[in-house]
Amino acid sequence: MMLIIHQRLADAIVRQALADHPLESCGVLAGPAGTGVPTRCIAMDNAAQSECFFRFDSHQQLRLARDMAQLGQEAVAIYHSHTGSHAYPSRSDIDYATDPALHYLIVSTDAGYPPGLRSFRIGNGHVVEERIAAVSAYRDVRFNHGLDTGDTRPATAA
Secondary structure E strands in 14-144: 26-32, 40-44, 73-82, 103-108, 117-123, 126-135
Mean predicted confidence (pLDDT) in 126-136: 96
What number is the average pLDDT over the span 139-157? 71
Q: Nearest-CA neighbor of 107 among 26, 2, 1?
A: 26
Helix, strand or coil, per DSSP, at residue 134: strand
What is the model's pLDDT at position 109? Answer: 94
pLDDT category at 66 given cuts 50, 70, 90 is very high
Average pLDDT, the chain: 91
Q: Which pLDDT score is estimated for 14? A: 94
**What are the distances in angstroms from CA 73 to CA 24, 33, 49, 86, 131?**
25, 5, 28, 31, 23
pLDDT attached to residue 156: 60
Go through the domains of the chain in sequence order and give each one's CATH number: 2-143 (3.40.140.10)
Residue 111 has pLDDT above 90, yes or no: no
Summarize the confidence of residues 138-143 as an average pLDDT. Answer: 83
